[in-house]
Amino acid sequence: MLKKLLFTTTLLCATATWAIVPAKTTALHVKQNQTFQIELVSNPTTGYSWHWEATKFEENLVTLVSHKYIASTHKKLIGAPGREIWTFKAKKGNYRVNQVGHITMTYSRPWEKNTPPAKTMTVTIVIETRGQ
């Protein structure tokens, strides 16, 4: 079970409610200037952590607001995985059509430069125009 990638993608709505959508590849619909979160299971005691290498196109659509790790609440389980929470904000733009981008996260050890990531997760972001 620990081999499976468990994650939830959460979306912080303007009314402070959360929508949780579990999937390997997920689409999130957000409004301009809306903040949203991607939450991923992580175990830094193994040396692995999640990374986001943004493209210029992604940087034009979203801003990384914060990134934090929350340790497991299971104190008796040494090495138990916790969660990495990545908070993004959809940028405001004068769009006539919805803007679609992808946030691709990779789970790897930062010092292993020539090794493919152990896991990859992609979230499709749809930034809705004002009229929709």
pTM, whole model, 2 decimals? Answer: 0.75
Pick out the chain residues at pLDDT < 70.
1-26, 130-132
What CA–CA distance (Å, rounded) separates 31 from 89? 9
Query: Collapsing DSSP states into helix, strand and coil, what is residue 61?
Result: helix
Give the pLDDT of residue 29. 92
Tally of domains in the chain: 1
Q: Is residue 1 part of a domain?
A: no
pLDDT for 6:
30
pLDDT value, residue 131: 57
Is 21:124 a contact under the CB 8 Å cutoff? Answer: no
pLDDT for residue 4: 32
State how far the alpha carbon of 77 is from the alpha carbons of 54, 82, 84, in Å. Answer: 34, 11, 18
- For residues 46 and 75, the answer to whether their CB atoms sit within 8 Å is no
- The CATH number given to whatever domain includes residue 69 is 2.60.40.2020
pLDDT digits (tens, 9 = 90+) for 79-106: 788 999 999 999 988 788 899 999 999 9
